[in-house]
Chain A
C-alpha cells in the first residue's frame, strides 16, 4: 500500500511536470511568431536571421525537454 502511494505521487508528479512542456510550446510559438512578424516587415533581412531563430527555438525547447525528462524520470526511474 505504501508503494502504491509513492507510485501515485510519482505519476501525479509526472503529469504536473508535463505542464512545463506547455510553457516551452508558448515560448517556441512566441519566438517563431515574432520572427515571422519581423520577417514580414523586412523580408530582405529575414534570410540571414533564420539561424538565430533556430538557436532561439532550441533554447526555448530545451527547457520543455527538461520537464519532459523529469516526467519520464518520475514514471520510469523513481
Chain B
C-alpha cells in the first residue's frame, strides 16, 4: 500500500511503526490471549536459539571446547561474574534467574535485528512484565530476608537527621520509578533504533540520496548491534544492583 501511495502522490510515506504490529500468524482474526502471533514465533525462535547455544552447543561436554561451546561458556562466565561482582556471593543463588533474563533479552534483541523480523523486546508489555517481575522479586525477597529492616534502604543513616525524611521521600519515589525506567529503557532503545532504521529506509526511495541512506542504515545497524547487547547487559546488571539492595539493605 505504501508503494502504491508513493507512486501516486510522488511523496514519501513512512511507516516506522508497522514493524511492531502484533498480528496472528494464521488467518486474520482478532488477537486473543492464546492466539499464536508473530510474538509467539519470535519468542519461540529466541528459546530455540538459547537451546542451540547452551544445550546443543555444550552436548559433548568437551574439555577443549568447540566454537559454539566456547561462546556458551563465555556467556555463562560473563553473567556469573557479573552476579558475583555486583550482587555478592549470596546473590549467586539467583544466578539462573538473571541468566534467564539476560539470555532472553540478548537473543530477542539480536533476532530483532534480522531484516523482516519482529522485536519482542520493543514492546512495553513485554519489558514491563520483565521489569515488574524483577521489582516484585526484589521487593518480596527483601521483606522475606530482612522483614521490616528492608525499609532501611529508604532511611539513610549517614545523612543529617533533618534531611532524612526528604531523602526518604526521594528514595521511595525512585524505588517505585525503578520498574518504569527499567522497562521503558529497554523497549525505548529497541523501538528507537528500529524506527530510525525504518525512517532511513524510507529515504532510500529517493534515488539521489539512497546511497547515503543505505550508508546511514549500515551505521545505525552497527550501533544497534552494540545497543542490543548493552541494553541486555544494563538490564541484567540493574537487576543485580536491585538484588544487592534486597540482600544487603544496610549498605
Contacts and interface: CB of A to CB of B under 8 A. Distances in A.
Interface of A: 48, 51, 54-55, 57-59, 61-62, 65-66, 68-69, 72, 76
Given A51-B237, A55-B234, A55-B238, A61 B192 contact: no
Contacts, number: 40
Contacts of B191: 72
B168 interface: no
A51 B184 CA distance: 20
Given A54-B233, A66-B188, A69-B184, 19 more contacts: A54-B234, A55-B234, A55-B237, A55-B241, A57-B234, A58-B185, A58-B234, A58-B238, A59-B181, A61-B185, A62-B181, A62-B184, A65-B188, A65-B189, A66-B181, A66-B184, A69-B188, A72-B191, A76-B17
B82, B86, B234, B237: most-surrounded residue (chain A CB, <10 A): B234
B90 interface: no
Contacts of B237: 51, 54-55
A59 to B, nearest CB: 8
Nearest to B82: A51
Contacts of A48: 85
A78 to B, nearest CB: 14
28 contacts: A48-B85, A51-B82, A51-B85, A51-B86, A51-B237, A54-B230, A54-B234, A54-B237, A55-B238, A57-B230, A57-B234, A58-B185, A58-B234, A58-B238, A59-B181, A61-B185, A61-B189, A62-B181, A62-B184, A62-B185, A65-B189, A65-B192, A66-B184, A66-B188, A69-B184, A69-B188, A72-B191, A76-B17
Query: Contact residue range for chain B?
Result: 10 to 19
Interface in B175-223: 181, 184-185, 188-189, 191-192, 195
Contacts of B241: 55
Contacts of A66: 181, 184, 188
A72 B193 CA distance: 13
